[in-house]
């Protein structure tokens, strides 16, 4: 069958991705969106309930039984002509399959062998299962994502979804590491292993928080600091329609702009002792009082009514949009930040390139390209038919 040639800055780079869930497929999606020829090695029957088709877009798919000797030989043949391999299994699985780094790099010394795990390749937790929540908890990241209700209860961490661990700490840093290793391999002619652990990445993400703490800006208990909903000028507020408004007037000049616009359009007139006045802005003792006053004000109008007077300004105010609303927002629509990708409307690849633009390619069914890929490897029709008959490819 014919396929659309890859476009983007990674066109010409070939990556073999072994099927998994979560951060591995997300990393493969990014690489495919950037133009790499990603050959997805899918499992007969799929990789489980979180084997999400959207994350597998842009691949050429070949179904292989990795537990068979012939199936492993196919993977080694793929590795021989690849620039990189992405594998998502627990430590030791690839070695037991006979596809570990030593075997792969002996077959292709320039290969970048990228390993995506939760806990990494070593350490006491390495053999065990985990998820985004456990990795971010262990890394210290989750403890800083809380909201203090100031009612005497102990602030409890807010689950941030899969974004911090699986995506940012996992997939994005795996892609960064893989691309860095590819760049180095061009100069040295030698590949290497990239050990991308979500818990390492989640820990790395806390660097900014450590920097804030070192600067004295993260000294209070979680939920009471400038950037963790403690400050009344960096908070999310409920509006009259029970939708929400994000207020991030962090710097003094942006806070002054917020007050000026509210004075002009909402009649805000602050008394000398009002905790919202600029001179009281950083008095943490009065933050709960100021926040209560802001809450009362923002409940007097709908979210969109507030946005009409505050959004297009330096007040740093934005609507909290639902996933279904975001594509229709004027700014995102103007930038064409969403598009139809294989059926659903999804975000288009980021970042953007002036000379080698990337473009998402559609989702294909597992095994769609099995015969094509095997033919590229030099397998003739008789051999492909024998592999199919034995259930070693599909």
Decide: 254 and 261 in contact? Cβ < 8 Å: no
Tell me if 62 sits within 8 A of 39, measured CB to CB: yes
Task: Spell out where the chain has E strands.
Answer: 14-18, 37-42, 60-63, 84-87, 112-117, 146-147, 156-157, 192-197, 234-238, 244-248, 317-319, 338-340, 345-347
Helix axes 23-33, 173-188, angle to 10 degrees: 60
CB contact set of 220 (below 8 Å; sequence gap of 6+): 230, 284
Q: Are the CB atoms for 177 and 194 separated by under 8 Å?
A: yes
Beta carbons of 231 and 294 less than 8 angstroms apart: no
Residue-wise DSSP of 331-346: HHHHTT-EEE-SSSEE
Q: What is the DSSP string of 306-328?
A: HHHHHTSSTT-EEE---TTTGGG
Structural contact between residues 64 and 75, judged by C-beta atoms closer than 8 angstroms: yes
Annotated catalytic residue, options 148, 166, 200, 371? 166
**CA 109, CA 345: separation in Å to the nearest integer?**
41
Is residue 132 annotated as a catalytic residue, yes or no?
Answer: no
φ and ψ at residue 241, rounded to 5 degrees: -95, 10
Strand partners, 238: 244
Token duo for residue 157:
């961490």
Both tokens of residue 132?
């985004």
Annotated catalytic residue within 73, 77, 131, 280: 131
Using CA atoms, how far apart are residues 154 and 147, in angstroms rounded to an integer? Answer: 10
Query: Given the DSSP bridges, would you call strands 37-42 and 14-18 parallel, antiparallel or unpaired?
Result: parallel
- Residue 303 near residue 320, CB atoms below 8 Å: yes
Is residue 280 flagged as an active site residue?
no
Distance in angstroms between the alpha carbons of the first and the last residue of the chain: 16
Provide φ and ψ at 17, rounded to 5°. -120, 120
d(CA 158, CA 36): 36
Residues annotated catalytic, as ranges = 131, 166
């Amino acid at each position: 069958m014919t396929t659309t040639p890859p476009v983007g800055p990674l066109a010409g780079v070939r990556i073999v991705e072994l099927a998994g869930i979560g951060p591995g497929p997300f990393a493969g999606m990014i690489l495919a969106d950037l133009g790499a020829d990603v050959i997805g090695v899918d499992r007969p029957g799929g990789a489980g309930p979180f084997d999400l088709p959207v994350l597998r877009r842009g691949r050429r798919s070949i179904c292989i039984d990795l537990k068979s000797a012939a199936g492993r030989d196919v993977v080694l043949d793929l590795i021989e002509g690849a620039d990189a391999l992405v594998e998502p299994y627990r430590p030791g699985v690839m070695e037991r399959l006979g596809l570990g780094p030593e075997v792969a790099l002996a077959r292709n010394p320039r290969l970048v062998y990228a390993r995506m795990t939760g806990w990494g390749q070593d350490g006491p937790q390495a053999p065990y299962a985990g998820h985004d929540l456990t990795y971010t908890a262990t890394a210290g990241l989750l403890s800083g994502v809380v909201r203090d209700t100031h009612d005497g209860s102990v602030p409890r961490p807010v689950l941030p979804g899969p974004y911090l661990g699986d995506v940012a700490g996992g997939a994005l840093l795996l892609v960064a590491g893989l691309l860095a290793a590819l760049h180095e391999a061009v100069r040295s002619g030698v590949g290497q292993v990239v050990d991308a652990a979500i818990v390492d990445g989640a820990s790395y993400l806390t660097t900014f928080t450590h920097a804030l703490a070192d600067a004295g800006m993260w000294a209070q208990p979680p939920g009471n600091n400038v950037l963790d909903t403690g400050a009344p000028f960096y908070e999310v507020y409920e509006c009259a329609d029970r939708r929400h408004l994000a207020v991030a007037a962090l710097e003094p000049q942006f806070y002054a702009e917020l007050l000026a616009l509210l004075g002009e359009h909402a009649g805000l007139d602050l008394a000398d002792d009002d905790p919202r006045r600029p001179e009281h802005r950083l008095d943490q003792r009065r933050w709960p009082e100021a926040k209560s006053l802001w809450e009362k004000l923002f409940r007097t109008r709908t979210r969109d009514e507030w946005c009409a007077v505050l959004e297009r300004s330096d007040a740093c105010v934005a609507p909290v949009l639902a996933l279904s609303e975001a594509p229709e927002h004027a700014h995102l629509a103007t930038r064409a930040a969403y598009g139809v990708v294989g059926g659903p409307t999804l975000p288009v690849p980021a970042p953007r390139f002036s000379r080698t633009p990337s473009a998402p390619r559609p989702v294909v069914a597992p095994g769609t390209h099995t015969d094509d890929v095997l033919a590229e490897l030099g397998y003739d029709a008789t051999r492909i038919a024998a592999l199919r008959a034995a259930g070693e490819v599909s």
